[in-house]
Amino acid sequence: MSYITVGKENSGTVDLYYEDHGTGKPVVLIHGWPLSSKSWEKQVPALLDAGYRVVTYDRRGFGNSSKPTFGYDYDTLAGDLNTLMTDLDLRDATLVGFSMGGGEVARYLGTFGSERVERAVFISAVPPYLLKTADNPEGVDGSVFDGIMESIVADRPAFLSGFLSNFYNVDLLGGDLVSDEVVRLSWNIAAAASPKGTLDCVPAWLTDFRNDLRSIDVPVLVIHGDADRIVPFPASGKRTPELMKESRLVVVEGGPHGITWTHAGMVNRELLDFIGQRVKLAQPVAGTPT
Q: What amino acid positions are annotated as catalytic residues? A: 99, 228, 257
**Can you say whether residue 147 is alpha, beta or left, with left for phi > 0 and alpha for psi between -120 and 50 degrees?**
alpha
* Upper half-sphere CA count for residue 163 (Cβ side, 13 Å): 24
Tell me phi and psi for residue 269, to 5 degrees: -65, -45
CB 96 within 8 A of CB 28: yes
- CA distance readout (Å), 170 to 131, 163, 180, 238: 26, 11, 9, 23
Number of Cβ atoms within 10 Å of the Cβ of 41: 13
CB 260 within 8 A of CB 42: yes
CB 189 within 8 A of CB 63: yes
